[in-house]
Amino acid sequence: MAEKRWNIPESWQWSEANEFSVIIAGGTPRNSISKDNYSKDGIPWLTPADLSNYHEDTILRGKRSLSIVGYGNSSAKLIPQGSVLFTSRAPIGYCVIAGNEISTNQGFKSFVPAGGINPYFLRYYLINSKVYAESKASGTTFLELSGKKAGKLSFPIAPLNEQKRITDKIDSLFDRKNKAKKALDAIPALLNQYRQSILAAAFQGTLTKDWRGNIREGWTVNTVGSIINNIQSGKSFRCIERPPKANEKGIVKISAVSWGRFNEDESKTVTDISRLNEKAKIFEGDLLFSRANTIELVGACLIANKFKKDLYLSDKILRLEVPEEYKVYLKWFLRSPSGRKQIERMATGAQHSMRNISQSSLKKIMMPLPPKEEMLVISQTLEEMGEFLDQIHSKMKENGLRLGTLKQSILAKAFRGKLVPQDPNDEPVVELLKHIQNEREQLEKELKTKKKVTRNKPRGRNTKMIIPVIDALKQSKKPLSSQQLLSAAGYPNNANIDQIEHFFLDVRKSITNLQIEVWRDDNQDYFKLAG
Protein backbone atom coordinates (compact mmCIF):
# COMPACT_ATOMS: atom_id res chain seq x y z
CA MET A 1 0.00 0.00 0.00
CA ALA A 2 1.53 3.29 -1.09
CA GLU A 3 2.15 5.93 1.57
CA LYS A 4 -0.20 8.92 1.25
CA ARG A 5 2.14 11.83 1.82
CA TRP A 6 -0.49 14.57 1.31
CA ASN A 7 -3.91 15.13 -0.22
CA ILE A 8 -4.12 14.86 -4.02
CA PRO A 9 -6.99 15.25 -6.53
CA GLU A 10 -9.53 12.40 -6.73
CA SER A 11 -8.40 11.64 -10.28
CA TRP A 12 -4.84 10.94 -9.04
CA GLN A 13 -3.50 7.98 -7.09
CA TRP A 14 -0.55 7.30 -4.80
CA SER A 15 1.59 4.48 -6.15
CA GLU A 16 4.88 2.86 -5.14
CA ALA A 17 7.74 3.13 -7.63
CA ASN A 18 7.94 -0.62 -8.18
CA GLU A 19 4.30 -0.63 -9.31
CA PHE A 20 4.99 1.45 -12.42
CA SER A 21 8.76 1.19 -12.98
CA VAL A 22 11.70 -1.20 -12.76
CA ILE A 23 14.52 -0.19 -10.41
CA ILE A 24 18.00 -0.83 -11.84
CA ALA A 25 21.22 -0.56 -9.82
CA GLY A 26 24.65 0.09 -11.30
CA GLY A 27 28.18 -1.13 -10.87
CA THR A 28 31.90 -0.38 -11.14
CA PRO A 29 34.47 -2.67 -12.80
CA ARG A 30 36.62 -4.84 -10.56
CA ASN A 31 40.03 -3.19 -10.29
CA SER A 32 38.34 0.14 -11.00
CA ILE A 33 41.65 1.98 -11.61
CA SER A 34 42.72 -0.29 -14.47
CA LYS A 35 42.79 1.60 -17.77
CA ASP A 36 41.64 -1.56 -19.55
CA ASN A 37 38.19 -1.08 -18.03
CA TYR A 38 37.61 2.24 -19.78
CA SER A 39 37.42 3.39 -23.38
CA LYS A 40 37.23 6.87 -24.88
CA ASP A 41 34.14 6.18 -26.99
CA GLY A 42 32.90 3.11 -25.17
CA ILE A 43 29.70 2.36 -23.30
CA PRO A 44 28.30 5.53 -21.65
CA TRP A 45 28.77 5.28 -17.88
CA LEU A 46 27.70 7.72 -15.20
CA THR A 47 28.82 8.43 -11.63
CA PRO A 48 27.26 10.90 -9.14
CA ALA A 49 30.27 13.19 -9.66
CA ASP A 50 29.17 13.66 -13.29
CA LEU A 51 25.98 15.34 -12.05
CA SER A 52 27.66 17.82 -9.70
CA ASN A 53 26.80 21.28 -11.09
CA TYR A 54 25.01 19.61 -14.02
CA HIS A 55 21.77 21.46 -14.78
CA GLU A 56 20.38 19.86 -17.95
CA ASP A 57 17.30 17.62 -17.98
CA THR A 58 19.00 14.82 -19.92
CA ILE A 59 22.50 13.38 -20.22
CA LEU A 60 24.25 11.28 -22.87
CA ARG A 61 27.41 10.16 -21.06
CA GLY A 62 29.73 10.92 -18.16
CA LYS A 63 33.42 11.81 -18.10
CA ARG A 64 34.41 8.17 -18.54
CA SER A 65 33.02 5.34 -20.64
CA LEU A 66 33.37 1.62 -20.04
CA SER A 67 35.26 -0.65 -22.41
CA ILE A 68 33.75 -4.03 -23.26
CA VAL A 69 36.13 -5.54 -20.72
CA GLY A 70 35.09 -3.03 -18.05
CA TYR A 71 31.42 -3.58 -18.74
CA GLY A 72 31.94 -7.31 -18.49
CA ASN A 73 33.86 -6.89 -15.23
CA SER A 74 31.06 -4.96 -13.54
CA SER A 75 27.44 -5.35 -12.52
CA ALA A 76 26.53 -2.25 -14.54
CA LYS A 77 23.62 -2.68 -16.93
CA LEU A 78 22.58 -0.82 -20.05
CA ILE A 79 19.60 1.32 -19.07
CA PRO A 80 17.11 2.38 -21.78
CA GLN A 81 16.79 5.90 -23.09
CA GLY A 82 14.14 7.82 -21.13
CA SER A 83 15.00 6.19 -17.80
CA VAL A 84 15.23 8.45 -14.74
CA LEU A 85 18.69 8.23 -13.15
CA PHE A 86 18.66 9.05 -9.43
CA THR A 87 21.75 9.18 -7.21
CA SER A 88 21.21 6.98 -4.18
CA ARG A 89 24.37 7.91 -2.25
CA ALA A 90 27.15 10.49 -1.98
CA PRO A 91 24.89 12.44 -2.39
CA ILE A 92 21.27 11.34 -2.56
CA GLY A 93 19.13 13.46 -4.86
CA TYR A 94 20.85 14.25 -8.17
CA CYS A 95 18.41 13.37 -10.92
CA VAL A 96 18.60 13.33 -14.71
CA ILE A 97 17.00 11.53 -17.67
CA ALA A 98 19.00 9.17 -19.90
CA GLY A 99 19.24 10.76 -23.36
CA ASN A 100 20.34 7.41 -24.80
CA GLU A 101 21.21 3.95 -23.55
CA ILE A 102 23.56 4.41 -20.63
CA SER A 103 25.02 2.60 -17.62
CA THR A 104 25.79 3.87 -14.13
CA ASN A 105 27.96 2.97 -11.17
CA GLN A 106 26.50 1.71 -7.89
CA GLY A 107 25.76 5.27 -6.76
CA PHE A 108 22.47 5.23 -8.67
CA LYS A 109 19.05 3.66 -8.46
CA SER A 110 17.53 4.20 -11.89
CA PHE A 111 13.79 4.20 -12.52
CA VAL A 112 12.80 2.63 -15.86
CA PRO A 113 9.14 3.70 -16.25
CA ALA A 114 6.52 1.73 -18.10
CA GLY A 115 4.49 3.48 -20.80
CA GLY A 116 1.93 5.84 -19.34
CA ILE A 117 4.45 7.49 -17.02
CA ASN A 118 6.16 10.67 -18.20
CA PRO A 119 9.87 10.51 -17.22
CA TYR A 120 10.00 14.31 -16.82
CA PHE A 121 7.09 14.07 -14.38
CA LEU A 122 9.06 11.47 -12.36
CA ARG A 123 12.23 13.54 -12.48
CA TYR A 124 10.58 16.70 -11.17
CA TYR A 125 8.96 14.73 -8.35
CA LEU A 126 12.28 13.13 -7.38
CA ILE A 127 14.03 16.52 -7.44
CA ASN A 128 11.41 17.71 -4.96
CA SER A 129 11.81 14.55 -2.85
CA LYS A 130 15.46 14.67 -1.77
CA VAL A 131 14.63 14.92 1.95
CA TYR A 132 11.95 12.22 1.59
CA ALA A 133 14.43 9.86 -0.11
CA GLU A 134 17.06 10.60 2.54
CA SER A 135 14.55 9.70 5.27
CA LYS A 136 14.26 6.21 3.74
CA ALA A 137 18.03 5.73 3.44
CA SER A 138 20.35 4.06 5.93
CA GLY A 139 24.07 3.73 6.58
CA THR A 140 26.80 4.72 9.03
CA THR A 141 29.60 6.11 6.84
CA PHE A 142 27.11 7.75 4.46
CA LEU A 143 23.41 7.39 3.77
CA GLU A 144 22.40 5.09 0.93
CA LEU A 145 18.98 4.39 -0.56
CA SER A 146 18.69 0.68 -1.29
CA GLY A 147 16.95 -0.71 -4.35
CA LYS A 148 14.23 -2.15 -2.12
CA LYS A 149 13.62 1.21 -0.42
CA ALA A 150 13.72 3.02 -3.78
CA GLY A 151 11.00 0.69 -5.04
CA LYS A 152 8.85 1.56 -2.00
CA LEU A 153 9.02 5.33 -2.55
CA SER A 154 5.53 6.76 -2.90
CA PHE A 155 4.64 8.82 -6.00
CA PRO A 156 1.48 10.88 -6.71
CA ILE A 157 0.49 9.67 -10.19
CA ALA A 158 -1.65 11.98 -12.32
CA PRO A 159 -3.46 11.02 -15.55
CA LEU A 160 -0.99 10.82 -18.44
CA ASN A 161 -2.29 13.93 -20.23
CA GLU A 162 -2.15 15.89 -16.99
CA GLN A 163 1.43 14.74 -16.40
CA LYS A 164 2.34 16.41 -19.70
CA ARG A 165 0.44 19.60 -18.81
CA ILE A 166 2.21 19.73 -15.45
CA THR A 167 5.72 19.27 -16.87
CA ASP A 168 5.04 21.86 -19.58
CA LYS A 169 3.88 24.35 -16.94
CA ILE A 170 6.90 23.64 -14.73
CA ASP A 171 9.23 24.12 -17.71
CA SER A 172 7.58 27.45 -18.53
CA LEU A 173 7.75 28.74 -14.94
CA PHE A 174 11.35 27.57 -14.48
CA ASP A 175 12.33 29.30 -17.71
CA ARG A 176 10.86 32.57 -16.43
CA LYS A 177 12.54 32.06 -13.05
CA ASN A 178 15.92 31.47 -14.69
CA LYS A 179 15.57 34.60 -16.83
CA ALA A 180 14.68 36.61 -13.72
CA LYS A 181 17.71 35.21 -11.88
CA LYS A 182 19.98 36.05 -14.80
CA ALA A 183 18.70 39.64 -14.80
CA LEU A 184 19.06 39.82 -11.01
CA ASP A 185 22.62 38.48 -11.13
CA ALA A 186 23.57 41.28 -13.54
CA ILE A 187 22.46 44.03 -11.12
CA PRO A 188 25.53 44.11 -8.80
CA ALA A 189 27.88 44.82 -11.71
CA LEU A 190 25.57 47.59 -12.96
CA LEU A 191 25.36 49.12 -9.48
CA ASN A 192 29.12 49.08 -9.12
CA GLN A 193 29.55 50.65 -12.55
CA TYR A 194 27.09 53.40 -11.61
CA ARG A 195 28.81 53.96 -8.24
CA GLN A 196 32.25 54.27 -9.85
CA SER A 197 30.93 56.71 -12.46
CA ILE A 198 29.41 58.93 -9.77
CA LEU A 199 32.59 58.79 -7.67
CA ALA A 200 34.77 59.68 -10.65
CA ALA A 201 32.50 62.63 -11.44
CA ALA A 202 32.52 63.77 -7.81
CA PHE A 203 36.31 64.06 -7.55
CA GLN A 204 36.72 65.56 -11.01
CA GLY A 205 34.34 68.36 -10.06
CA THR A 206 31.66 67.52 -12.65
CA LEU A 207 29.14 66.24 -10.07
CA THR A 208 28.76 69.72 -8.55
CA LYS A 209 29.15 71.63 -11.82
CA ASP A 210 25.51 72.78 -11.82
CA TRP A 211 25.79 73.80 -8.17
CA ARG A 212 28.89 76.01 -8.53
CA GLY A 213 29.12 76.82 -12.29
CA ASN A 214 31.71 75.84 -14.89
CA ILE A 215 34.83 77.19 -13.16
CA ARG A 216 36.42 75.00 -10.44
CA GLU A 217 37.52 77.89 -8.21
CA GLY A 218 39.30 77.05 -5.00
CA TRP A 219 40.10 73.42 -5.85
CA THR A 220 43.54 72.21 -4.78
CA VAL A 221 45.40 68.91 -4.86
CA ASN A 222 47.01 67.75 -1.64
CA THR A 223 48.02 64.61 0.19
CA VAL A 224 45.69 62.54 2.36
CA GLY A 225 48.20 63.11 5.13
CA SER A 226 47.51 66.84 5.02
CA ILE A 227 44.08 66.35 6.62
CA ILE A 228 44.95 63.46 8.99
CA ASN A 229 45.60 64.43 12.61
CA ASN A 230 46.51 60.94 13.78
CA ILE A 231 46.47 57.27 12.73
CA GLN A 232 45.65 54.81 15.50
CA SER A 233 46.31 51.07 15.21
CA GLY A 234 45.68 48.20 17.59
CA LYS A 235 47.22 44.85 18.44
CA SER A 236 46.68 41.28 17.31
CA PHE A 237 47.18 38.35 19.65
CA ARG A 238 45.65 34.95 20.32
CA CYS A 239 41.90 35.19 20.94
CA ILE A 240 38.88 32.91 21.00
CA GLU A 241 37.59 32.55 17.44
CA ARG A 242 34.06 33.82 18.05
CA PRO A 243 32.42 37.24 18.47
CA PRO A 244 32.44 38.60 22.04
CA LYS A 245 29.33 38.37 24.19
CA ALA A 246 27.73 41.30 26.04
CA ASN A 247 30.20 41.26 28.94
CA GLU A 248 33.29 40.53 26.84
CA LYS A 249 35.74 42.52 24.72
CA GLY A 250 36.78 41.74 21.17
CA ILE A 251 39.23 42.58 18.39
CA VAL A 252 37.91 43.17 14.88
CA LYS A 253 38.99 41.07 11.90
CA ILE A 254 39.79 42.67 8.54
CA SER A 255 36.51 41.21 7.24
CA ALA A 256 34.65 43.57 9.60
CA VAL A 257 35.36 46.45 7.20
CA SER A 258 35.66 44.66 3.84
CA TRP A 259 32.15 45.01 2.44
CA GLY A 260 31.09 48.62 2.90
CA ARG A 261 29.19 48.21 6.17
CA PHE A 262 30.72 47.61 9.60
CA ASN A 263 30.11 43.99 10.66
CA GLU A 264 30.66 43.70 14.41
CA ASP A 265 30.25 39.92 14.29
CA GLU A 266 33.49 39.64 12.32
CA SER A 267 35.49 39.79 15.54
CA LYS A 268 37.35 37.63 18.07
CA THR A 269 36.94 37.42 21.85
CA VAL A 270 39.81 38.66 24.02
CA THR A 271 40.78 36.42 26.94
CA ASP A 272 43.50 38.66 28.43
CA ILE A 273 42.10 42.21 28.54
CA SER A 274 45.34 43.53 30.05
CA ARG A 275 46.87 43.34 26.58
CA LEU A 276 44.35 45.81 25.15
CA ASN A 277 45.24 49.44 24.45
CA GLU A 278 42.32 51.67 25.43
CA LYS A 279 43.36 54.15 22.74
CA ALA A 280 42.43 51.44 20.21
CA LYS A 281 38.81 51.18 21.39
CA ILE A 282 36.35 51.65 18.49
CA PHE A 283 33.60 54.27 18.82
CA GLU A 284 30.57 55.21 16.75
CA GLY A 285 31.62 57.43 13.86
CA ASP A 286 35.23 56.20 13.62
CA LEU A 287 36.70 56.16 10.10
CA LEU A 288 38.29 52.71 9.80
CA PHE A 289 40.79 51.63 7.15
CA SER A 290 42.09 48.14 6.33
CA ARG A 291 45.84 48.34 5.74
CA ALA A 292 46.11 44.62 4.77
CA ASN A 293 44.05 42.31 2.60
CA THR A 294 43.95 40.94 -0.93
CA ILE A 295 44.63 43.43 -3.73
CA GLU A 296 40.89 43.98 -4.31
CA LEU A 297 40.15 44.68 -0.63
CA VAL A 298 43.27 46.29 0.80
CA GLY A 299 42.38 49.88 1.70
CA ALA A 300 38.70 49.14 2.32
CA CYS A 301 37.27 51.86 4.52
CA LEU A 302 34.03 52.81 6.23
CA ILE A 303 32.55 54.80 9.06
CA ALA A 304 31.65 52.47 11.95
CA ASN A 305 28.11 52.84 13.22
CA LYS A 306 25.15 50.88 14.57
CA PHE A 307 27.13 48.39 16.66
CA LYS A 308 26.84 47.29 20.30
CA LYS A 309 29.87 45.11 21.00
CA ASP A 310 32.90 46.34 22.94
CA LEU A 311 35.47 46.22 20.14
CA TYR A 312 39.10 47.25 19.59
CA LEU A 313 41.33 47.82 16.57
CA SER A 314 43.67 45.07 15.40
CA ASP A 315 47.11 45.72 13.95
CA LYS A 316 45.58 45.52 10.45
CA ILE A 317 42.67 47.93 11.02
CA LEU A 318 43.55 51.61 11.40
CA ARG A 319 41.49 54.54 12.66
CA LEU A 320 42.03 57.65 10.55
CA GLU A 321 41.50 60.65 12.82
CA VAL A 322 40.51 63.64 10.70
CA PRO A 323 38.38 66.77 11.26
CA GLU A 324 34.69 65.84 11.20
CA GLU A 325 33.94 67.79 8.00
CA TYR A 326 36.53 65.74 6.06
CA LYS A 327 35.48 62.28 7.29
CA VAL A 328 32.76 61.41 4.74
CA TYR A 329 34.65 63.06 1.89
CA LEU A 330 37.82 61.06 2.63
CA LYS A 331 35.88 57.80 2.92
CA TRP A 332 34.36 58.23 -0.54
CA PHE A 333 37.61 59.40 -2.11
CA LEU A 334 39.45 56.30 -0.89
CA ARG A 335 36.68 54.22 -2.52
CA SER A 336 36.82 56.17 -5.79
CA PRO A 337 38.63 54.96 -8.95
CA SER A 338 41.44 57.48 -8.32
CA GLY A 339 41.82 56.50 -4.66
CA ARG A 340 41.70 52.76 -5.40
CA LYS A 341 44.27 53.07 -8.18
CA GLN A 342 46.76 54.74 -5.85
CA ILE A 343 46.12 52.28 -3.00
CA GLU A 344 46.63 49.25 -5.24
CA ARG A 345 49.78 50.77 -6.76
CA MET A 346 51.32 51.51 -3.35
CA ALA A 347 50.34 48.19 -1.72
CA THR A 348 53.26 45.81 -1.28
CA GLY A 349 53.39 42.02 -1.05
CA ALA A 350 53.34 38.93 -3.25
CA GLN A 351 51.02 39.16 -6.24
CA HIS A 352 48.59 36.44 -5.14
CA SER A 353 48.79 36.85 -1.36
CA MET A 354 48.02 39.44 1.31
CA ARG A 355 48.92 43.01 0.34
CA ASN A 356 49.85 45.76 2.75
CA ILE A 357 49.86 49.55 2.56
CA SER A 358 51.98 51.37 5.12
CA GLN A 359 50.86 54.45 7.03
CA SER A 360 53.49 56.55 5.27
CA SER A 361 52.24 55.40 1.84
CA LEU A 362 48.65 56.09 2.85
CA LYS A 363 49.57 59.66 3.78
CA LYS A 364 51.21 60.21 0.37
CA ILE A 365 48.02 59.48 -1.61
CA MET A 366 47.08 62.58 -3.63
CA MET A 367 43.54 63.87 -3.28
CA PRO A 368 41.60 66.77 -4.87
CA LEU A 369 40.22 69.17 -2.26
CA PRO A 370 37.38 71.56 -3.14
CA PRO A 371 36.30 74.51 -0.98
CA LYS A 372 34.65 73.33 2.22
CA GLU A 373 31.13 74.33 1.22
CA GLU A 374 31.39 72.38 -2.05
CA MET A 375 33.08 69.49 -0.25
CA LEU A 376 30.08 69.20 2.07
CA VAL A 377 27.70 69.18 -0.93
CA ILE A 378 29.76 66.39 -2.54
CA SER A 379 29.82 64.41 0.72
CA GLN A 380 26.05 64.71 1.18
CA THR A 381 25.36 63.74 -2.45
CA LEU A 382 27.61 60.68 -2.21
CA GLU A 383 26.03 59.59 1.08
CA GLU A 384 22.57 59.82 -0.51
CA MET A 385 23.83 57.81 -3.48
CA GLY A 386 25.25 55.18 -1.12
CA GLU A 387 21.97 54.85 0.76
CA PHE A 388 20.03 54.62 -2.51
CA LEU A 389 22.29 51.87 -3.88
CA ASP A 390 22.17 50.01 -0.56
CA GLN A 391 18.37 50.00 -0.75
CA ILE A 392 18.49 48.57 -4.27
CA HIS A 393 21.00 45.94 -3.17
CA SER A 394 18.81 44.99 -0.21
CA LYS A 395 15.75 44.62 -2.46
CA MET A 396 17.85 42.56 -4.85
CA LYS A 397 18.84 40.17 -2.03
CA GLU A 398 15.20 39.84 -0.94
CA ASN A 399 14.13 39.00 -4.48
CA GLY A 400 17.03 36.57 -4.79
CA LEU A 401 15.82 34.74 -1.67
CA ARG A 402 12.29 34.63 -3.09
CA LEU A 403 13.60 33.16 -6.34
CA GLY A 404 15.55 30.60 -4.33
CA THR A 405 12.36 29.29 -2.70
CA LEU A 406 10.20 29.65 -5.84
CA LYS A 407 11.43 26.37 -7.36
CA GLN A 408 10.31 24.31 -4.37
CA SER A 409 7.04 26.23 -4.22
CA ILE A 410 6.29 25.45 -7.88
CA LEU A 411 7.09 21.76 -7.44
CA ALA A 412 5.07 21.53 -4.22
CA LYS A 413 2.00 22.90 -6.01
CA ALA A 414 2.61 20.69 -9.05
CA PHE A 415 2.50 17.43 -7.10
CA ARG A 416 -0.55 18.44 -5.09
CA GLY A 417 -2.56 19.01 -8.24
CA LYS A 418 -2.65 22.79 -7.78
CA LEU A 419 -0.47 23.94 -10.70
CA VAL A 420 -2.78 23.10 -13.62
CA PRO A 421 -6.52 22.32 -13.68
CA GLN A 422 -7.75 18.73 -13.87
CA ASP A 423 -9.57 17.60 -17.02
CA PRO A 424 -12.53 15.23 -16.43
CA ASN A 425 -11.94 13.76 -19.90
CA ASP A 426 -8.50 12.41 -18.94
CA GLU A 427 -8.27 8.64 -18.48
CA PRO A 428 -8.51 7.85 -14.74
CA VAL A 429 -5.25 6.83 -13.11
CA VAL A 430 -6.84 3.58 -11.88
CA GLU A 431 -7.23 2.44 -15.49
CA LEU A 432 -3.80 3.77 -16.42
CA LEU A 433 -2.13 1.77 -13.66
CA LYS A 434 -3.85 -1.44 -14.80
CA HIS A 435 -2.27 -1.07 -18.24
CA ILE A 436 1.04 -0.10 -16.67
CA GLN A 437 1.14 -3.18 -14.40
CA ASN A 438 1.06 -5.59 -17.34
CA GLU A 439 3.65 -3.59 -19.27
CA ARG A 440 5.89 -3.27 -16.23
CA GLU A 441 6.01 -7.03 -15.71
CA GLN A 442 7.13 -7.53 -19.31
CA LEU A 443 9.64 -4.67 -18.96
CA GLU A 444 11.14 -6.28 -15.86
CA LYS A 445 11.65 -9.56 -17.72
CA GLU A 446 13.39 -7.77 -20.58
CA LEU A 447 15.68 -5.83 -18.26
CA LYS A 448 16.52 -8.48 -15.69
CA THR A 449 16.28 -11.83 -17.52
CA LYS A 450 19.12 -12.83 -19.83
CA LYS A 451 17.80 -14.45 -22.99
CA LYS A 452 19.38 -17.80 -23.90
CA VAL A 453 18.84 -17.10 -27.61
CA THR A 454 21.69 -18.16 -29.91
CA ARG A 455 20.01 -17.47 -33.25
CA ASN A 456 18.09 -14.49 -34.59
CA LYS A 457 14.64 -15.11 -35.92
CA PRO A 458 14.85 -15.74 -39.69
CA ARG A 459 14.09 -12.54 -41.57
CA GLY A 460 15.66 -13.20 -44.96
CA ARG A 461 18.59 -14.64 -46.84
CA ASN A 462 21.18 -12.46 -45.05
CA THR A 463 20.18 -13.47 -41.49
CA LYS A 464 23.28 -14.62 -39.55
CA MET A 465 23.56 -17.15 -36.74
CA ILE A 466 24.86 -15.85 -33.42
CA ILE A 467 27.92 -17.92 -32.50
CA PRO A 468 30.30 -17.92 -29.48
CA VAL A 469 32.99 -15.24 -29.69
CA ILE A 470 35.75 -17.88 -29.53
CA ASP A 471 34.32 -19.50 -32.68
CA ALA A 472 34.17 -16.09 -34.39
CA LEU A 473 37.88 -15.54 -33.65
CA LYS A 474 38.74 -19.04 -34.91
CA GLN A 475 36.92 -18.33 -38.17
CA SER A 476 38.54 -14.91 -38.66
CA LYS A 477 42.07 -16.25 -38.01
CA LYS A 478 43.14 -12.72 -36.97
CA PRO A 479 42.63 -10.30 -34.10
CA LEU A 480 39.37 -8.32 -34.13
CA SER A 481 38.26 -5.04 -32.57
CA SER A 482 35.23 -5.13 -30.29
CA GLN A 483 32.91 -3.90 -33.05
CA GLN A 484 34.39 -6.38 -35.54
CA LEU A 485 34.00 -9.21 -33.04
CA LEU A 486 30.38 -8.24 -32.37
CA SER A 487 29.65 -8.45 -36.10
CA ALA A 488 31.71 -11.63 -36.67
CA ALA A 489 29.77 -13.37 -33.88
CA GLY A 490 26.57 -12.74 -35.82
CA TYR A 491 25.04 -9.91 -33.80
CA PRO A 492 23.01 -7.45 -35.92
CA ASN A 493 23.96 -3.77 -36.28
CA ASN A 494 20.79 -2.84 -34.37
CA ALA A 495 21.38 -5.37 -31.57
CA ASN A 496 19.02 -4.89 -28.64
CA ILE A 497 19.96 -4.66 -24.97
CA ASP A 498 19.57 -8.39 -24.33
CA GLN A 499 21.78 -9.31 -27.31
CA ILE A 500 24.51 -6.89 -26.21
CA GLU A 501 24.32 -8.23 -22.64
CA HIS A 502 24.66 -11.77 -24.04
CA PHE A 503 27.73 -10.72 -26.07
CA PHE A 504 29.45 -9.11 -23.07
CA LEU A 505 28.82 -12.16 -20.88
CA ASP A 506 30.29 -14.41 -23.57
CA VAL A 507 33.39 -12.17 -23.84
CA ARG A 508 33.89 -12.09 -20.07
CA LYS A 509 33.49 -15.88 -19.78
CA SER A 510 36.01 -16.49 -22.58
CA ILE A 511 38.57 -14.14 -20.97
CA THR A 512 38.05 -15.72 -17.53
CA ASN A 513 38.54 -19.20 -19.02
CA LEU A 514 41.76 -18.01 -20.71
CA GLN A 515 40.32 -18.83 -24.14
CA ILE A 516 40.81 -15.35 -25.57
CA GLU A 517 43.09 -12.41 -24.81
CA VAL A 518 42.36 -8.69 -24.90
CA TRP A 519 44.64 -5.67 -25.28
CA ARG A 520 44.22 -1.97 -25.99
CA ASP A 521 45.54 0.04 -28.89
CA ASP A 522 44.60 3.70 -29.55
CA ASN A 523 41.66 3.54 -27.09
CA GLN A 524 40.24 0.43 -28.79
CA ASP A 525 39.85 -3.08 -27.33
CA TYR A 526 41.23 -5.89 -29.54
CA PHE A 527 40.68 -9.62 -29.07
CA LYS A 528 42.55 -12.73 -30.20
CA LEU A 529 42.71 -16.43 -29.38
CA ALA A 530 44.80 -17.20 -26.30
CA GLY A 531 48.17 -18.95 -26.66
72-112 residue pLDDT tens: 889 999 999 999 999 999 899 999 999 989 999 999 999 99
User: Which CATH number do you get for residue 518?
Assistant: 1.10.10.10
The pLDDT of residue 24 is 94
Is the pLDDT at 449 greater than 70? The verdict is no
Mean pLDDT, to the nearest integer, of 490-498?
76
Q: How far from 145 is each of 119, 444, 468, CA to CA, in Å?
A: 20, 20, 38
Taking all residues of the chain, what is their mean pLDDT, rounded to a whole number? Answer: 90
Which burial class, exposed, middle or buried, applies to 442 when counting CB atoms under 10 A from its CB (0-12, 13-18, 19+)?
A: exposed
Is the pLDDT at 470 greater than 70? The verdict is yes
Is the pLDDT at 128 greater than 60? The verdict is yes
Q: Based on the domain organization, do 40 and 95 belong to the same domain?
A: yes
How many CB atoms sit inside 10 A of residue 85's CB? 28
Listed range (49-58, 207-216, 305-314) with the worst mean pLDDT = 207-216
How many CB atoms sit inside 10 A of residue 445's CB? 12
Q: Based on the domain organization, do 323 and 354 belong to the same domain?
A: yes
Which among 333, 350, 369 is the end of a domain?
A: 369
175 lies in some domain: no
Q: How far from 339 is each of 199, 320, 330, 519, CA to CA, in Å?
A: 10, 15, 9, 66
67-81 residue pLDDT tens: 888 898 899 999 999
82 lies in some domain: yes
The pLDDT of residue 459 is 40
The pLDDT of residue 461 is 38
Q: Based on the domain organization, do 19 and 124 belong to the same domain?
A: yes
Total domains in the chain come to 3
Mean pLDDT, to the nearest integer, of 136-153?
94
The pLDDT of residue 464 is 55
385 lies in some domain: no
Q: Based on the domain organization, do 445 and 475 belong to the same domain?
A: no
192 lies in some domain: no
Of the pLDDT bands very low, low, confident and very high (cuts 50, 70, 90), residue 443 is confident
The pLDDT of residue 215 is 65
7 lies in some domain: no
User: Which CATH number do you get for residue 59?
Assistant: 3.90.220.20
Q: 273: which DSSP letter?
A: G
Considering only residues 109 and 500, tell me which one the structure prediction assigns the higher pLDDT: 109
Is the pLDDT at 453 greater than 70? The verdict is no
Of the pLDDT bands very low, low, confident and very high (cuts 50, 70, 90), residue 192 is very high
Question: In the chain, pLDDT over 90 holds for what percent of residues?
Answer: 69
- The boundaries of the domain holding residue 506 are 469-529
Q: Based on the domain organization, do 267 and 318 belong to the same domain?
A: yes
Is the pLDDT at 460 greater than 50? The verdict is no
Rounded to whole angstroms, how far apart are CA atoms 100 and 81? 4
Considering only residues 440 and 335, tell me which one the structure prediction assigns the higher pLDDT: 335
Which among 369, 390, 405 is the end of a domain?
A: 369
Is the pLDDT at 365 greater than 70? The verdict is yes
Rounded to whole angstroms, how far apart are CA atoms 157 and 455? 41
Question: In the chain, pLDDT over 70 holds for what percent of residues?
Answer: 95
Q: Based on the domain organization, do 355 and 224 belong to the same domain?
A: yes
Of the pLDDT bands very low, low, confident and very high (cuts 50, 70, 90), residue 447 is confident
Q: Are 505 and 460 in contact (CB under 8 A)?
A: no
